[in-house]
Structure 1
Amino acid sequence: MAHAPTSDTVLILTDRDDHTSDLIVSALHRRRVPVVRLDPGSGPFHMEVTLDQDRMAWQGRIGDDHHTAQLENVVGVLWRWPTPPAGHPAITDPAARAWAAREDRLALYGVLKTLPVRWLNHPSRFEIANDKPGQLLTAAACGMAIPDTVITTGGRKARAWASGRDVLSKAFHAQGVDPDNMVIARRADPAAIPDELGAATSFQQVIPGPSIRLTVVGEDLFAVRMNGSDDLDGELDWRPVQDQLTYDQVEVPAGIARSVLKYMRSYGLEYGAFDFIDGPDGWVFLECNPSGMYGFVEIKCGLAITDAIAAHLYDKRRPLLSPLETGTGLPAPLP
């Protein structure tokens, strides 16, 4: 096993192609903070942990052939896009390897979730907060405007609801059948919606106006208006053409700021990438990605999001989660 840092350490769990995490590693290094970056699915990983009943915590080491984290030294964990363990490559039988991969995942993630550290974000809270239907209800409960929405597997219901409306259809997950093929939001012609949709689909009222990306780190809010996002030759999704847009940092309306922070507290989140439309009657909530990308708006507008994340993970003034808090995985009740 590789050598593990012996002082307070930040653990980053994400895949190898997550270049945004490269920025965070560099920011932590500038602060002389030891960092261990791991992706459990990129190759064989190792665990040597023991339950310390006096401290009520798991102690020991996790890592791969290149990097190791000493769990008792970890003070902050950045959970972004880790790929799950794939099973030891020496196991040639597919069924046996799938079984081993499951065992590895349950053991590794089960131990990690109990760590009493500063999380951004805790994986159990991330999982609950990533459900799009629940997001709309929570946003409304926190005082934000949301678009009229219907979710259905049947085209007749969709056609009846969409008649006379300007509507879009969107997937619940941006990744399609091909991992490199993004499923984007598209305007839907009500008359062309087939009887059988093939999968549950979300239809929403189109809200006219430019898109807003609001990145939240703790109580720090960074809002950017994407100029041109409401003039894409009939298209609605700015993600495939983000390099063609211009960006301006904007102030967050006071009411939106209060609602967003209430939303973050309700899920127990420390990070969120919110998408809004700046509509005729104000900002309208679309969704919140609890591990969303932010590098493009940081670069375009010279924001300090990376520094805020690095400070948040290592700020010793911030309380650690207790083992009970990390173990429940339940969102906090709305204040």
Structure 2
Amino acid sequence: MMNGAVLVLTDHTDHTTDLIVHALQQRDAHVVRLDLGDERLWLDAHLDPDTGRWRGQIGDEHRAAHLDQVTGVLWRWPGPPAGHPAITDPAARAWAARENTLALHGVLATLPARWINHPDAAAACRKPGQLVTARACGLTVPDTVLTTRGAAVTAWADGRTVLYKAQHAAGADPDTMVTAGPADPAALPRHLGAVSCFQPIITGPSIRLTTVGEQMFAVRITGYPPELIDWRPIQDRLAFTPIPVPAPIAAGVRAFLDRYGLEYGALDFIETSRGWTLLEINPTGMYGFVEIQSGLRITDAIADRLLTPPPPANPRVPRAGRQPGPTVAP
């Protein structure tokens, strides 16, 4: 374990993070929780030309963290930085918001801390790339089509039962989840309106694998009707039974996470007679419902990992060959 501050970056409605903050406080850690979307957020940063490190503070009206004392960062769901509320012109305020985003993300991304997860790594882990990387790491992935044309789905499906899934769970209404569901290729319009993802429906129990550093927490999910493809809307009514992770799956997942530089991931699999098929990974996925209903101590693992010193390194920069995608700010 180490001394220093743990910087927690998420919005005020992220109740899963409340569990992590409490666990860190029980370990006598100095925790500073901030939301980058808070209009009251402030930054005083100075680049030390001798060390090449940003020093100074970031905070809101209640708390602040010294940048050079941050040893762990939990990056969950921070809101987008906003322009100052005193700026009344919409265009000027939007410009200020962009300036804040570039500066805040740019300074924070250089902190040589234990990140769960670094935003560059999380942003690079897009769903189309996930499937390619997972297959290269020895994991089984579904046959997948991404297209804007309904006719392409019809030709590809060739009589199979298929499903549609969104690239992001939040839809036009951010309070409404876009769930995966069956699709009728013959009923699709000529133009789909957006690039759409289709896969064959794979039957078998769902597996949720939550990874924290080197630790893996897997559960088999049961209790949902067989016709239900996406169990998330009724997760509070399901059973989550802890199970071991097969050695080949564990090896493939570790290779996958290392390729992206991820410390944490919530991975969804389907268990078939031929093994586990990876559907996707969410680098900032929820885990609280799994812990509550299975008894697995995921929160403790995250708190302990945030307090584990990172390998000696310069401020975080992409390492050649580590990340399969470009380094971008979310």
**TMscore range, shorter length:** over 0.9
Determine if contact 2:261/2:323 at 8 Å carries over to the other structure: no
How many Å separate the matches in 2 of 1:110 and 1:319?
21
Match of 1:313 in 2: 306
TM-superposed deviation, 1:320: 4.7
- Between the aligned partners of 1:93 and 1:330, the Cα distance in structure 2 is 43
Matched, 1:73 2:69: yes
For residue 179 of structure 1, report the CA deviation from its aligned partner. Answer: 0.7
* 1:106 is the counterpart of 2:99: no
Q: 1:313 to 1:187 in 2, by over 3 A?
A: same
Gaps in structure 2 of 5+ consecutive residues: 325-330
Structure 1 segments unaligned to the other structure (5+ residues): 1-6
Q: What is the number of residues matched between the two proteins?
A: 322
**Residues 2-151 of structure 1: pairs in structure 2 closer than 5 A:** 8-129=4-125, 131-151=126-146
Given the superposition, is the C-alpha separation of residues 331 and 308 from structure 1 closer, same or farther in structure 2, using an over 3 Å criterion? farther
Q: Which residue of 1 aligns with 2:318?
A: 328
Q: Which residue of 2 aligns with 1:4?
A: none
Post-superposition Cα deviations, 1:266-305, rounded to whole Å, max 9, x if no partner, equal: 1111000000001121100000000100000011111111
Aligned to 1:168: 163
Q: 1:72 Cα deviation (Å)?
A: 1.0
1:267 and 1:331 in contact (8 A); partners too: no
Are the aligned partners of 1:187 and 1:235 in contact in 2 as well (CA < 8 Å)? no
CA distance in structure 1 between the aligned counterparts of 2:118 and 2:134, rounded to whole angstroms: 20
Q: Partners in 1 of 2:174 and 2:32 — Cα distance?
A: 27
Query: Normalising by structure 1, what TM-score?
Result: 0.93
Q: Residue 40 of structure 1 aligns to a residue in which SS?
A: coil
- Verify the 8 A CA contact 1:208 1:280 in the aligned structure 2: no
- Distance in 1 (CA, whole Å) between partners of 2:92 and 2:84 is 10
TM-score normalised by structure 2 residue count: 0.95
> Aligned to 2:37, what secondary structure does the other structure show?
helix
Deviations 1:200-235 (A, max 9, x none): 100001110011000000110000111134x24x22
Partner of 1:214: 209
Aligned mates of 1:244, 1:251 — CA distance in 2: 23
| Alignment partner, residue 248 of structure 2 | 255
Deviation at 1:43, TM superposition (A): 2.0
CA distance in 2, matches of 1:8, 1:132: 35
Aligned residue type for 1:98: A
Judge conservation of contact 1:215–1:273 (CA < 8 Å) in 2: yes
Change (3 A) 1:42 1:94: same
Which position in structure 2 is the counterpart of 1:178? 173
Aligned residues of 1:121 and 1:269 also touching (Cα < 8 A) = yes
Question: Counterpart of 2:261 in structure 1: which amino acid?
Answer: G
Cα shift at 1:66: 1.3
Distance in 2, matches of 1:99 and 1:331, equals 35
Q: Which residue of 2 aligns with 1:303?
A: 296
- TM-aligned CA distance change 1:23 to 1:201, over 3 Å: same
Distance 1:330 1:35 in 2: 32
Q: Encode CA deviations 1:5-30: one digit per residue, 9 max, x unaligned.
A: xx610000001110111000000000
Q: What amino acid sits opposite 1:44 in the alignment?
A: R
Give the aligned partner of residue 200 of structure 1: 195
CA contact (8 A) 1:276 1:287 kept: yes
> Helix, strand or coil for the counterpart of 1:41?
coil
Q: Which residue of 1 aligns with 2:327?
A: none
Structure 1 contact 117–320 (Cα < 8 Å) conserved:
no
